[in-house]
Chain A
Amino acid sequence: DSGVTQTPKHLITATGQRVTLRCSPRSGDLSVYWYQQSLDQGLQFLIQYYNGEERAKGNILERFSAQQFPDLHSELNLSSLELGDSALYFCASSVESNYGYTFGSGTRLTVV
């Protein structure tokens, strides 16, 4: 157990739907990162939050949004889902931006 908790582990939904992925960071970590991993693209950075504020944005689609709450857990919202959104979504956390990340076990999203 890495200390980073992601729920749910698996999610199957239909095109056009909206889902929410949840991440609880390791105790004491203030930064949360979201990554998408698909077979052909590898790990792609989506967005980072630090202590409740958005810190950096990567290749995140406008249909996707995220937030970090006062208790530091984070949610990634994916809407108007398309088949191509099927992927593993990972959350990672770190104490600060300049430390290595600890990854959760991921949420496998399948859009049918």
Chain B
Amino acid sequence: EDQVTQSPEALRLQEGESSSLNCSYTVSGLRGLFWYRQDPGKGPEFLFTLYSAGEEKEKERLKATLTKKESFLHITAPKPEDSATYLCAVQVIKGGSQGNLIFGKGTKLSVKP
């Protein structure tokens, strides 16, 4: 069964304290791995898509990396406005066509000033 596991469930950081969020996955065939940010009561907001092991993408204080079994979202010198739940999702190749996104349960990040 295709599965996505995120850790930790919750992370509290001081402003400026860098850290990483983990997303490990077990899938039959990976089409792509997606990172989203979700604020309370709002829809997930797209951050990155990674397609192959070794790929990296950056956006402001965030950098996403991908290996064959997991992805990391590195947060450098976070600010309070980075506080949100970060969701990881995988898209699986099914029957020659791309499947739906399978989400992990997310990591809730809190950054204190």
CB distance from B29 to the nearest CB of A (A): 13
Q: Is the CB of B99 within 8 A of A56?
A: yes
Q: Is the CB of A43 within 8 A of B87?
A: yes
**Chain A residues, CB < 8 A from B97:** 97
Which of B10-18, B37-45, B56-64 interfaces with chain A?
Answer: B37-45
Number of A residues near B (Cβ < 8 Å) is 26
User: Does A104 have its Cβ within 8 Å of any Cβ on chain B?
Assistant: yes
| A100 in contact with B43 given A33-B100, A48-B100 (CB within 8 Å) | no
Q: Mark A1-30, 1 if CB is under 8 A from B, else 0.
A: 010100000000000000000000000000
Q: Chain B interface mostly helix, strand, loop or mixed?
A: strand
Q: Mark A34-66, 1 if CB is under 8 A from B, else 0.
A: 010000011111001000000010100000000
Q: Is the CB of A2 within 8 A of B43?
A: yes
- In the complex the two chains form, what is the Cα distance from A53 to B6 in whole Å? 33
Query: For this complex, into which size category does the number of interface residues on chain B fall?
Result: 20 to 34
8 Å CB contact of A45 from B43, B100, B104: B100
Q: Is the CB of A45 within 8 A of B46?
A: no
**Which chain B residue shows the least CB distance to A58?**
B100
CB distance from B55 to the nearest CB of A (A): 15
**Which chain B residue shows the least CB distance to A6?**
B43
Instruction: Report the 7 A-B pairs with minimum CB-CB distance, sorted nearest first.
Output: A103-B43, A42-B105, A98-B98, A43-B103, A97-B98, A45-B100, A103-B44
